[in-house]
A and B are shown apart, each in its own frame.
Chain A
Amino acid sequence: MASPEMLFRGARVVDPRAGRDEVADVHVRDGVVADVGSGLDAASAEIVECDGLVLAPGLVDLHTHLREPGFEHKETVETGTRAAAAGGYTAVAPMANTDPVADDASVIAQVRTAAALAGLADVFPVGAITKGLQGEVLAEIGEMVAAGVRVFSDDGRCVPTARTLRNALTYASAFDDAVIAEHCEDDSLSIGQQMHEGSSSSSLGLAGQPAAAEDAIVFRDIEMARLTGGRLHICHLSSARSVELVRRAKADGLRVTAEVTPHHLVFTDEDLRTYDTNRKVNPPLRSEADRDALRWGLADGTIDAIATDHAPHAVEEKEAEFDRAPPGTIGLETALAVALTKLVAPGIISLVRAVETLSSTPASILGARDHGGPIEAGRPANLVLFDPQERWTVEPPFVSKSRNCAFTGSDLIGRVRSTVLHGELTVSEGKATR
């Protein structure tokens, strides 16, 4: 199928890599950006009038659970990437905790094939750090690097010992730019945990996990990065102390990056008062002070990326007793609007910074060269067009196969109009095209 030719006319082009935030026309042809400027003319192109709309590099999610293979009742590569496209994403990084675990090149290839068939987003599978996520034997990192994997994570679990993490960082450092992404949680401090340990957990009678369960491992991991010179990425940062540890690690010049989820930027442990299992997440929603520290960490550059930790679960799994419900919320369809409503509108971060943390920086960490901008002639046309003013209420149905969304009922501002993947529309006028 030949790619359509499109002219986005009069959009506010927000492009952190080009340092651009201005009204311009963007001409897309043959899968790439043909031209950017004002008063562009393209007789054969479909004209998309963009008055009042924002055109930005397609969003890139560093932390997605597509659940395939093994948990197709929750999500598949196809339904998950369709949800991604609906949320303005052009690239996602599915985590390795599938069944079988993505700990060798064959599972990676399987996910890639399913993604290519769906054609809804570029998929960059994350490989496991250890075989079977067991935390003992290193997975075949070299083979997976050869298969194009860049980020490795045992997400869902913490690498249990400093020794194993040290070896992973050292081993991976032999491969250019390979990243070890850690789920930082001291398991011994979180046995049976249902939420953040604090005044809410005390009065709700739910077993708590102190922020120190994360902080202790973040500290350990940063020291291992220091020891090895390895490239460490910290997943879903949730506590104020951990933000400070990352800030210091960066000041020390260590190769450390970090992400935060939309839900940790918005909610606190107080939001569990009604035992809403859609707000049961791991790491847990923490205190207001933690939430605020995450916001300022994102604003000052300590935190590099907003990552969804999109974690679909079937209705019957979430409609259960709080301590039996699995942790996680879906997030691909709401992340952009959450950032616009809760961070940009109140002036915590600029729109450019929002796009940078949702697209450009995660693309760099992921090594997704075709994504994250700049929007310049010759570059692959991976774009999102959104209305920064449209108001909507989050409610089912979702494009995702699951509907466990922590933001259900929230009023948000900002909605995706079109998503362009390699010059083709995956979403047009807010609707999926395929």
Chain B
Amino acid sequence: MNEHLLSMHDVTADDVIRILDTAESFREVGTRVIKKVPALRGRTVVNLFYENSTRTRISFELAAKRLSADVINFSSGGSSVSKGESLKDTALTLQAMGADAIVIRHASSGSPFQLTKWVRGHVLNAGDGTHEHPTQALLDLYTMRERLGRLEGLRVAIVGDVLHSRVARSLSFGLVKMGADVTLVGPATLIPPDAPQWGVQVSHDVDGVLPKLDVCYLLRVQTERQRLEYFPSVREYARLFGLNRARVGLLPEGSLIMHPGPMNRGVEIDSDVADLPQSVIEDQVTNGIAVRMALLYLLLGGRHADAADEVAGG
């Protein structure tokens, strides 16, 4: 595996399998009374969060703690960052303190790449601007594989604001890598013009796509004003693309509904749809911890999945 996880382009299909297999062995740890293994004892993981994110930060924090690593949470509010310290200086400080891994969330695309130039530790991208969110993609792949038994040949639609979604990018790259059949669905203004070059299909007709799916993956629709120049109204969006009861009926039996959260109930997903049994949104959250444990473990600790079996099983 690569030294860092910056993009889904950093991992091969074999790496993905190894990560998911390792995560599977860690999944069991989360079901124990004492949810902790000593795999990364004495190692330091820094969560460097320049953007608010409760779920991703907590997920990484739990993952590192369950591996017995020392965890430092560094968020932009109330730190030297709010005093105008540059990313580089913050990176050099963390480097000097001996961070073994830095998990970075930043509003600027590419920041994790830049971080690798300034630190020796491993860098994990926890979401950078509108670029990528590879750990989200991996936990989604884990969830799909767990529920449907495979990734190859899966028919997946990613519905919503693909243009501004780092989740959509990472997930598309990951699914295509694993041989899935991906369709991006959304208003034409919210699909990147060159998206077909990712190896995906594009559609603007959600009703036409739904009957052919194994997974309907909904993206959060940003309703801030600057996004609204891309489509006329939230109401029109919900009418054309929102997953409501009637549309769920178009999905084949056994298909999954997924969402990276946080959800806008009533916009991209109707409230009662989110709570249907085929909606696996909570599984995604649970699996996120195991997948992030696997990633920290593989990047920082062992190089072999069977070692993880020993640790997790022992």
A residues in contact (CB < 8 Å) with B: 194, 197-199, 201-207, 274-275, 277, 316, 319-324
Tell whether, in the assembled complex, residue B197 and residue A323 are in contact, meaning their CB atoms are under 8 Å apart: no
Tell whether, in the assembled complex, residue A275 and residue B114 are in contact, meaning their CB atoms are under 8 Å apart: yes
**Would you give the 0/1 interface string for B119-144, flagging 1 where the beta carbon is closer than 8 Å to chain A?**
00000000011111000000000000
| Interface segment, one of B187-195, B210-218, B235-243 | B187-195
The distance from the CB of A270 to the nearest CB of chain B, in whole angstroms, is 12
Tell whether, in the assembled complex, residue B193 and residue A202 are in contact, meaning their CB atoms are under 8 Å apart: yes
**Chain A residue nearest to B118 in the complex (CB):** A319
The distance from the CB of B188 to the nearest CB of chain A, in whole angstroms, is 14
Chain B residues, CB < 8 A from A316: 86, 88
Bound CA–CA A399/B284 (angstroms): 55
The majority secondary structure among interface residues of chain B is mixed
Tell whether, in the assembled complex, residue B110 and residue A321 are in contact, meaning their CB atoms are under 8 Å apart: yes
B113 at the interface (CB under 8 A from A): yes
B198 at the interface (CB under 8 A from A): yes
B109 at the interface (CB under 8 A from A): yes
Chain A residues, CB < 8 A from B195: 202
Tell whether, in the assembled complex, residue B194 and residue A204 are in contact, meaning their CB atoms are under 8 Å apart: no
Tell whether, in the assembled complex, residue A320 and residue B87 are in contact, meaning their CB atoms are under 8 Å apart: yes
**Chain A residue nearest to B50 in the complex (CB):** A321
Question: Assuming A316-B86, A322-B108, A323-B129, is B113 touching A205 (CB within 8 A)?
Answer: no
Question: Assuming A205-B128, A205-B129, A205-B169, is B194 touching A321 (CB within 8 A)?
Answer: no
Chain B residues, CB < 8 A from A319: 86, 88
Question: Assuming A198-B194, A205-B169, is B108 touching A323 (CB within 8 A)?
Answer: yes
- Number of CB contacts from chain A to chain B under 8 A: 64
The distance from the CB of B135 to the nearest CB of chain A, in whole angstroms, is 16
Tell whether, in the assembled complex, residue B192 and residue A323 are in contact, meaning their CB atoms are under 8 Å apart: no
Chain B residues, CB < 8 A from A198: 194
Question: Assuming A202-B192, A205-B169, A274-B113, is B108 touching A321 (CB within 8 A)?
Answer: yes
The distance from the CB of A193 to the nearest CB of chain B, in whole angstroms, is 12
The distance from the CB of A190 to the nearest CB of chain B, in whole angstroms, is 14
Tell whether, in the assembled complex, residue A205 and residue B132 are in contact, meaning their CB atoms are under 8 Å apart: yes
Shortest 8 CB-CB distances between A and B: which pairs? A205-B131, A275-B110, A321-B108, A202-B192, A199-B194, A205-B130, A205-B109, A202-B194
B65 at the interface (CB under 8 A from A): no
Which residues 81-137 of B have a CB within 8 angstroms of A?
A: 86-88, 106, 108-111, 113-114, 128-132
Tell whether, in the assembled complex, residue A207 and residue B108 are in contact, meaning their CB atoms are under 8 Å apart: no
Question: Assuming A198-B194, A202-B193, is B130 touching A321 (CB within 8 A)?
Answer: no
Question: Assuming A321-B108, A322-B114, is B166 touching A205 (CB within 8 A)?
Answer: yes
**Would you give the 0/1 interface string for B203-214, flagging 1 where the beta carbon is closer than 8 Å to chain A?**
000000000000
Tell whether, in the assembled complex, residue B109 and residue A322 are in contact, meaning their CB atoms are under 8 Å apart: yes
Chain A residues, CB < 8 A from B166: 205
Bound CA–CA A207/B192 (angstroms): 10
Known: A201-B194, A316-B88. 12 other contacts (CB 8 A): A194-B109, A202-B195, A203-B198, A204-B110, A206-B110, A274-B113, A316-B86, A319-B88, A320-B87, A321-B106, A321-B114, A323-B129
Bound CA–CA A127/B220 (angstroms): 49
The distance from the CB of B300 to the nearest CB of chain A, in whole angstroms, is 23
The distance from the CB of A279 to the nearest CB of chain B, in whole angstroms, is 12
The distance from the CB of A267 to the nearest CB of chain B, in whole angstroms, is 17
Bound CA–CA A322/B112 (angstroms): 11
Bound CA–CA A320/B110 (angstroms): 10
The distance from the CB of B34 to the nearest CB of chain A, in whole angstroms, is 40
**Chain A residue nearest to B195 in the complex (CB):** A202
* 18 pairs of residues in contact across A and B, judged by CB atoms under 8 Å: A201-B192, A202-B197, A202-B198, A203-B198, A205-B132, A205-B166, A275-B114, A277-B114, A316-B88, A319-B86, A320-B87, A320-B88, A321-B87, A321-B111, A321-B114, A322-B111, A322-B114, A323-B109
